[in-house]
Amino acid sequence: MSKAKFTEADVKRAVKGVIEGGGIVANVDIWPDGRISVTVKEDKHRSMDPEDDPEVSRRLL
């Protein structure tokens, strides 16, 4: 079995970066070559801190 091109920690790090930057993760794609693409949902009316949102907290686990 060959070594994975990415780890779960790599994916968590990418998602955490988006959330800490104020974004909402819409989708995460893993490409065959090991690239990780995070699609960010645009929310023009968000007024609360994303960490105060229970939905965001559940997605972080």
Q: Where are the domains of the chain?
A: 8-60
Q: How confident is the model at residue 60 (pLDDT cuts 50, 70, 90)?
A: low
How big is the chain, counted in residues? Answer: 61
Q: What is the mean pLDDT of residues 7-14?
A: 94
Q: Does pLDDT of 59 surpass 80?
A: no
For the stretch 11-56, pLDDT in tens is: 999 999 999 998 899 999 999 888 999 999 876 665 566 666 666 6
- Residue 28 and residue 20: Cα distance in Å, rounded? 16
pLDDT reported for residue 42: 74
Query: Got the DSSP string for 14-48?
Result: HHHHHHHTT-EEEEEEE-TTS-EEEEEE--TT--S
